[in-house]
């Protein structure tokens, strides 16, 4: 999950720039640094049209979640040994230019939230005046309610505003297989021996194996699942490539028949390649969410501006939910609060976006783990990956 990234098309970037070209002034009413592709340009245009005044808006895309997290560290002076994306371009006239001005909101993935809270990079949100927050399904509210260590807490403070979500999917070549994978257990099918590529993330791989065995992605005691290591070793023999950046290329060129990866990268691939299909595993899968977080101010906690509150509220309105679900290769947390008749056929008839409710109830977010439990996962992963000599494309 930590490598999950999404890129706008060149045309989309140009549209975004044109929409917000009036934001060069230092007097900006709302600054937002967003993950590229997570908000469609149509949404920003629609937001402007809802405003009675004409505030100055500054929305800037960044290519990867890790760059956005680095910016949060930069603003708090915690990145002395790190370089953000803006510092990595060689031979620029200006060496190490300053990072962007402190934003009102930044996109963060839910798996980054605990670290951002613990490192005091962000501050909690007061959403009492954001009316659509109360309409958001409880699952999304609970995701961002945390204690000061970033752990889930029912009555915790609100540390973010979810606006887009997706899943981990099984993608496959329909022209190569004479059968259709349906669930995680199909990955162990001998017909897929050495014919699988998947993301190189231990929480994802161990998690789907736990799910296949009837356990949670967030199992705290791996020793109570005695079959786990055996099943992981068997799965390893099925996998030809591990890569969090290039797991889909082998599928496209026919080097593998199945790929396991993230929906925001698989959905556009399906839209452009009729031979690639995908399914949400019937036993449930891993969920991820993009979240608006508020960078911590240098001196004390600051209140949300009126424009900032309007932006959060707008992101959960039916119009925004429909645009996100249609154009952002993901779904809106508010998608199930909208009358189905108002959703476009492209969304309502897409089971990767408008999921079967019974399957959705079995899906899980990756929860923060204690260091002790995290070490269990890491050590098991190392044992499995070192058990044989692998000719894999690995990023570990």
- Confidence class for position 75, pLDDT limits 50, 70, 90: very high
pLDDT band at residue 96, thresholds of 50, 70 and 90? Answer: low
Q: 46-55, 80-89, 109-118: which has the minimum mean pLDDT?
A: 80-89
- Residue 348 neighbours by CB distance under 10 Å: 16
For 137-155, letters b (16+ CB in 10 Å) and e give eebbbebbbbeeebebeee
Range list of H helices, the chain = 10-19, 41-50, 65-75, 113-118, 138-143, 202-212, 228-238, 249-253, 263-272, 306-315, 318-327, 345-348, 357-360, 371-385
Virtual CA dihedral for 294, 121, 369, 136, nearest 10 degrees? -10
Mean pLDDT of the chain: 88
| pLDDT at residue 21, as a whole number | 42
3-state SS class at 57: strand
For the segment 282-298, the average pLDDT, to the nearest whole number, is 96
26/25: higher pLDDT: 26
Rounded mean pLDDT, 252-256: 97
Q: Tell me which of 64 and 97 has the higher pLDDT.
A: 64
**pLDDT at residue 342, rounded to an integer:** 86
When pLDDT is averaged across residues 49-54 and rounded to a whole number, the result is 89
Position 99 scores a pLDDT of 74
Per-residue pLDDT, 14: 37
- The whole-number average pLDDT for the span 192-221 is 98
Task: Say whether pLDDT at 90 is over 90.
Answer: no
Query: Does the pLDDT value for residue 85 go beyond 50?
Result: no
Single out the residue of 229, 276, 277 nearest to residue 252, CA to CA.
276
Say which range, 35-44, 146-155, 340-349, has the weakest mean pLDDT.
340-349
What does the pLDDT read at residue 54? Answer: 86
Using a pLDDT cut of 90, give the percent of the chain over it.
Answer: 79
Note the pLDDT tens digit of each residue in 333-363: 999 888 888 899 999 999 999 999 999 999 9
Which residues contact residue 231 at a Cβ distance below 8 angstroms, ignoring those fewer than 6 apart?
A: 188, 209, 212, 213
| pLDDT number for residue 79 | 64
Whether the pLDDT of residue 183 is over 70: the answer is yes
User: In the predicted model, is pLDDT for residue 189 greater than 60?
Assistant: yes
Mean pLDDT of 262-274: 96
Separation of alpha carbons 331 and 288, rounded Å: 11
pLDDT of residue 26 exceeding 90: no
Name the token pair of 393. 């494309």
Enumerate domains of the chain plus CATH numbers: 10-165+288-364 (3.40.190.10), 166-286+367-385 (3.40.190.10)
Above pLDDT 70, what percent of the chain? 86
Higher pLDDT, 25 or 76: 76
Tens digits of per-residue pLDDT, 314-338?
A: 999 999 999 999 999 999 999 988 8
Please check whether residue 280 is in contact with residue 353, taking contact to mean a CB–CB distance below 8 angstroms. Answer: no
Percent helix, strand, coil in the chain, to 5, is: 40, 15, 45
What's this model's pTM, rounded to 2 decimal places? Answer: 0.88
Q: Give me the pLDDT at residue 100, please.
A: 81
Q: What is the pLDDT of residue 101?
A: 86
Examine the pLDDT at 8 and tell me if it is beyond 70: no
């Amino acid at each position: 999950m930590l490598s999950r990234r999404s890129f706008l098309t060149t045309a989309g970037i140009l549209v975004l720039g044109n929409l917000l070209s009036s934001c060069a002034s230092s007097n900006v009413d709302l600054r937002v640094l967003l993950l590229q592709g997570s908000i469609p340009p149509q949404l920003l245009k629609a937001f402007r049209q809802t405003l009675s005044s004409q505030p100055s808006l500054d929305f800037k895309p960044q290519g990867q979640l890790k760059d956005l997290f680095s910016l949060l560290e930069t603003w708090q002076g915690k990145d002395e040994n790190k370089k953000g994306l803006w510092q990595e371009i060689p031979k620029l006239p200006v060496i190490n230019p300053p990072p962007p001005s402190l934003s009102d909101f930044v996109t963060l993935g839910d798996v980054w939230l605990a670290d951002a809270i613990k490192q005091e990079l962000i501050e909690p949100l007061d959403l009492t005046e954001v009316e659509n927050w109360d309409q958001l399904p409880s699952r999304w509210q609970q995701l961002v309610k945390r204690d000061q260590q970033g752990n889930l807490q029912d009555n915790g403070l609100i540390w973010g505003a979810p606006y887009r979500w997706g899943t981990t999917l099984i993608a496959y070549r329909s022209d190569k297989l004479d059968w259709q994978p349906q669930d995680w257990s199909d990955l162990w099918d001998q017909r897929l021996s050495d014919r699988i590529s998947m993301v190189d993330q231990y929480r994802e791989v161990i998690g789907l194996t736990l799910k296949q065995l009837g356990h949670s992605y967030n199992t705290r005691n791996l020793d109570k699942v005695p079959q786990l290591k055996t099943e992981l070793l068997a799965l390893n023999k099925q996998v030809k490539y591990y890569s969090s950046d290039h797991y889909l290329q082998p599928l496209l060129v026919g080097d593998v028949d199945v790929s396991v990866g993230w929906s925001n990268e698989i959905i556009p691939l399906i839209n452009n390649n009729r031979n690639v299909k995908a399914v949400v595993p019937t036993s449930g899968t891993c969920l991820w969410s993009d979240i608006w977080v508020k960078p911590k101010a240098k001196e004390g906690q600051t209140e949300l501006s009126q424009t900032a509150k309007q932006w959060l509220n707008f992101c959960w309105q039916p119009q925004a939910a429909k645009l996100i679900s249609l154009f952002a290769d993901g779904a809106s947390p508010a998608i199930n609060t909208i009358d189905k008749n108002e959703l476009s056929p492209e969304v309502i008839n897409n089971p990767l976006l408008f999921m079967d409710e019974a399957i959705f109830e079995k899906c899980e977010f990756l929860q923060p783990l204690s260091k002790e439990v995290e070490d269990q996962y890491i050590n098991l992963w190392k044992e499995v990956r070192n058990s044989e000599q692998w000719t894999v494309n690995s990023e570990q």
